[in-house]
Structure 1
Amino acid sequence: MERNWYLRIALIAGVLVFSLYQLVPSWFYFQLPPSERNGEKYDQSVPSWAPSARKHLNLGLDLQGGIHLAMGVDVDRAVKAKVARRADEIADFLREKKLPVEASAPTPDGARIAVKTSDPKRVESIVLDQYGSELTSPSGAPQGTVYFAFKSKVLQDFQAKAVDQAEKTIRNRVDKWGVSEPDIKRKSNNQIQIQLPGFKDPEKAKELLGRTAQLEFKITDDDSAALDGVRAALPACPVDQGLLRAPLPEGGCWSVEGVELPGGQARQATFVAANTRAQLDAAVDKAAKPLLPPGDEIGVGEGTIGAGPVKDRFYRTYLLHGKTELTGDYISDARAAMDNSQGAGKPVVVFTMTPEGGRLMEKLTTQNLGRRMATVLDGKVETAPYIQGKISTNGQITLGSNRPYQQMFEEANEIALVLKAGALPAPVTIFEERTVGATLGPELIKKGTTAALVGLLLVVAFMILYYRATGLIADLALVLNALLVLAIMSIIGSTLTLPGIAGFVLTLGMAVDANVLINERIREELRAGRTVRQAVEQGYDKVFWTIVDSHVTTLVAGVVLMQYGSGPVRGFAVTLIIGLVASMFTSIVVTRAFMDFFTRRDTARLSV
Structure 2
Amino acid sequence: MLQIPLWNRLVIMLVVLAGLSFAMPNLFYDRVERHNDATAVIEDTGVITDALAAERALWPDILPSTLVNLGLDLRGGAHLLAEVQVADVYEARIDGLWPDVRDVLRDARDQVGTIRRENAAPGELRVRISQPEGIAAAVSAVRTLATPVIGLTGVGSPTLDVRGDGDTVVVTLSEAERQATDDRTMQQSVEIVRRRVDEAGTREPTIQRQGTDRILIQVPGIGSAQELKDLIGTTARLTFHPVVRRTTDPEARVDARQILLPSLDEPGAFYILEQTPVVTGDDLVDSQPTFDQQTGQPAVTFRFNPRGARDFGAYTTANIGAPFAIVLDDEVISAPIIRSAITGGSGQITGNFTVAESTELSILLRAGALPAEMVFLEERTIGPELGADSIAAGETAALVAFSAVLVFMVLSYGLFGVFASIALILNVGLIFGVLSLIGATLTLPGIAGIVLTIGMAVDANVLVFERIREELKTAKGPARAIELGYSRALSAIIDSNLTTFIIAVILFTLGSGPVRGFSVTLGIGIITSVFTAIYVTRLIIVTWFELRRPKTIEV
The reply to whether TM is greater than 0.5 is yes
> Which AA in structure 2 matches 1:435?
T
User: Which residue in the other structure is 2:135 paired with?
Assistant: 120
Are 2:27 and 1:23 aligned? yes
- Post-superposition CA distance 1:348-385 (Å, at most 9, x none): 355574xxxx2452354146337476554443455667
Q: Check the 8 A contact 1:181/1:497 in 2, yes or no.
A: no
User: Which residue in the other structure is 1:405 paired with?
Assistant: 355
497-506 or 472-481, larger mean C-alpha shift: 497-506
**Please, what is the CA RMSD of the aligned residues?**
5.5
1:199-598 correspondence to structure 2 within 5 Å: 199-216=222-239, 218=240, 220-221=242-243, 226-227=244-245, 271-272=246-247, 283=248, 285-287=250-252, 289-290=253-254, 296-298=258-260, 300=262, 302-303=264-265, 314=267, 317=270, 320-331=273-284, 334=286, 336-339=288-291, 341-342=293-294, 344=296, 346=298, 348=300, 353=305, 358-359=306-307, 361-362=309-310, 364-366=312-314, 368-369=316-317, 371=320, 375-381=326-332, 386=338, 388-391=341-344, 395=346, 398-416=348-366, 418-419=367-368, 423-430=369-376, 433-436=379-382, 450-483=396-429, 485-486=431-432, 496-505=442-451, 508=454, 511-512=457-458, 515=461, 529=475, 568=514, 571=517, 575=521, 586-587=532-533, 590-598=536-544
- Post-superposition CA distance 1:30-61 (Å, at most 9, x none): xxxxxxxxxxxxxxxx9x97799x99877544
Q: Distance in 1 between matches of 2:505 and 2:214?
A: 31
Q: Check the 8 A contact 1:91/1:101 in 2, yes or no.
A: no
Q: Check the 8 A contact 1:21/1:51 in 2, yes or no.
A: no
Q: CA 1:87–1:574 in 2, change beyond 3 Å: closer, same or farther? A: farther
> Which AA in structure 2 matches 1:109?
A
Are 2:204 and 1:180 aligned? yes
Alignment TM-score, normalising by the size of structure 2: 0.67
Q: CA 1:522–1:300 in 2, change beyond 3 Å: closer, same or farther? A: farther
User: Which residue in the other structure is 1:87 paired with?
Assistant: 98
Unaligned runs of 5+ in 2: 34-54, 147-156
Are 2:85 and 1:74 aligned? yes
Alignment TM-score, normalising by the size of structure 1: 0.62
Q: CA 1:76–1:9 in 2, change beyond 3 Å: closer, same or farther? A: closer
Structure 1 vs Structure 2: percent identity of aligned residues? 30
Q: Check the 8 A contact 1:61/1:438 in 2, yes or no.
A: no
Q: Could you tell me how far 1:597 is from its partner in structure 2? A: 1.7
> Which AA in structure 2 matches 1:121?
A
Q: CA 1:15–1:445 in 2, change beyond 3 Å: closer, same or farther? A: closer
Q: Could you tell me how far 1:80 is from its partner in structure 2? A: 1.6
Aligned residues: 504
Q: Distance in 1 between matches of 2:507 and 2:316?
A: 47
86-95 or 15-24, larger mean C-alpha shift: 15-24
Q: Check the 8 A contact 1:104/1:116 in 2, yes or no.
A: yes
Q: Distance in 1 between matches of 2:460 and 2:280?
A: 55
Q: CA 1:435–1:122 in 2, change beyond 3 Å: closer, same or farther? A: same
Q: Match of 1:470, SS? A: helix
Unaligned runs of 5+ in 1: 30-45, 228-270, 273-282, 304-312
Q: CA 1:298–1:116 in 2, change beyond 3 Å: closer, same or farther? A: same
Q: Match of 2:359, SS? A: helix
Q: Check the 8 A contact 1:179/1:196 in 2, yes or no.
A: yes
User: Which residue in the other structure is 1:248 paired with?
Assistant: none
Q: CA 1:412–1:442 in 2, change beyond 3 Å: closer, same or farther? A: closer
Q: Could you tell me how far 1:157 is from its partner in structure 2? A: 6.2
